[in-house]
Amino acid sequence: MRGRVQDVGTINNEIQIYLFDGSFDTGFKIVSFEISPGNWNVDPDCSAILATEPIEGNAYQWDWSDNTQKAWAAIQANGAGAVGTYYSSVLDDIIVEDLYIKAWSSTGSDVNYKIVLEKVKISEYRGALALVMNSSQG
C-alpha cells in the first residue's frame, strides 16, 4: 500500500490504515516501510513511525521499547538536493488490527509512504496473543 501523509507541519499528522477484517485467524507481517519527502527540492528531511495504536509525541521521537511502534523510517539530506542518509527498520511481528502512521518533515510539507505487508494465516490463539503484544498493555 502507498499514500501520502498530508500537511505534517508541526502537528505531525497521523493517519489510520484499516487492516482488521473482523477475523482473528488472519494477520499481517510488515515486510518493508519506506518514506520519501513530498517535494525533494524544498523538503528532503522527514521521519515517520508505523504503529498499532495512535502515536504519542512527535514522528521523530522513536521509542523502540514501545510495544505499539513496529517500524521507523527517516531521511536526512542536510539541505535541498543534497545526498544524505536513509534509515528504515521493521519489527517481525504479526499485526491483526489497524496500523497508524505519523510523519514529520522539516518544512511541514507532505510525506509519501510505502508499506509492503504479507498476509498470514494464524490460529485464533495467536491472533489474540498478537492483540495483547501489539498494545500498550502488552
Specify the 3-state DSSP secondary structure of 32.
strand
* Contact yes or no for 63/88 (Cβ under 8 A): no
- Chunked mean pLDDT (size 10), the chain, 138 residues: 80 82 85 88 83 88 90 80 73 87 86 93 74 64
Q: Does a structural domain hold residue 56?
A: yes
Residue linked to cell 510505502: 114
Q: Has residue 45 been placed in a domain? A: yes
pLDDT at 24: 79
Query: CA 85, 110, 2: angle at the middle one, nearest 5?
Result: 80
The answer to whether position 101 is within a domain reads yes
Which residue range is the domain that position 38 belongs to?
A: 2-133
pTM equals 0.84
Q: Decide if 29 contacts 19 (C-beta within 8 A).
A: no
Say if 49 falls within a structural domain.
yes
Q: Would residue 138 count as lying in a domain?
A: no
Give the count of domains, the chain: 1
